[in-house]
Amino acid sequence: MIVLGIDVGGSALKGAPVNTKTGRLLGERHRIEIDSPCPTVQGLAAARAIARHFKWSGPVGVGFPSVILDDHIGVVGNLGKNWEKKNGAVLFSRATGGRAKLFNDADAAGLAEMRFGAGKGQMGSVLMLTMGTGIGSALFFRGRLMPNLEFGHIPWRGRPIERFAAAAVRKRRKLTWPEWAKRVNTFLAVAERICSPELIIIGGGVSKKADKWLKYIKANAKVVPARMGNDAGIVGAALAWEQAGK
Ligand code: BGC
């Protein structure tokens, strides 16, 4: 089926119609910058603009950077508190004019990597991490997702560990790649202590620059960069819509 996938990130919304059978985008992705934190009206206007750009009124899968329980937005790290406790499916359906469903953004990206990317055919325990403004996490076992895992919010020195090791921290603090990788190793050690995955897939923008950091990564599990790059969030949001059923 064709679903409009929208990936809500810390600095932009990105979307495109996706063929869920092939995992391919059916048009060049449309990106709209947002403020950080982002007022709800601004974020929803961006979603509306993406739907209009593709003249879309069909199903809309939205990957959103928070826990999502029963379509409701949970604690929001980076977009701002004004989103919290709202029924995101209702908000995004109204904004886009299509039937929207909401999922955690890392869960969505993980679904895409498991189906079409670095996790394809992996039946053991796989931990997908997205490195961006925050750290997203998704855990799979025998191909099935355990939703709403929030490894980025493990406390570290009194703060969520994503504020120590996310990709945005590298840029903000002007860390070298080895310095950043050392922080990621600290994070991975904590994550491995909790769930002992066989495979760790690292996604987000850094997945395209794996030559810069992968050689410094130390973990018990095999660590590989994600293969779907920035499209994983969009494709995964569409897959999640289809999986959730009509
Ligand atoms: C949020 C997660 C999200 C991650 C990546 C974190 O701050 O709590 O839900 O998956 O950022 O966007």
Sorted by where each starts, the structural domains of the chain and their CATH numbers stand as: 2-107+231-245 (3.30.420.40), 122-226 (3.30.420.40)
pLDDT tens per residue, range 177-210? 999 999 999 999 999 999 999 999 999 999 999 9
Contact 202, 223 (CB under 8 A): yes
- With a 6 Å cutoff on the Cβ, whether 61 touches ligand 1 is no
For residue 218, the tally of other CB atoms under 10 A from its CB is 11
- What pLDDT, on the 0 to 100 scale, is given for residue 33? 97
- Residues whose CB falls within 8 Å of the CB of residue 99, separated by 6 or more in sequence, listed in order: 58, 59, 60, 93
Residue ranges for the chain with pLDDT beneath 50: none
- What pLDDT, on the 0 to 100 scale, is given for residue 77? 79
Dist. CA 207 → ligand 1 center (Å): 17
Q: What is the pairing mode between strands 125-131 and 199-203? A: parallel
- Residues whose CB falls within 8 Å of the CB of residue 229, separated by 6 or more in sequence, listed in order: 207, 208
- What pLDDT, on the 0 to 100 scale, is given for residue 126? 98
pTM above 0.85, yes or no: yes
- What pLDDT, on the 0 to 100 scale, is given for residue 246? 57
- With a 6 Å cutoff on the Cβ, whether 132 touches ligand 1 is yes
SS3 call for 222:
strand
For residue 120, the tally of other CB atoms under 10 A from its CB is 11
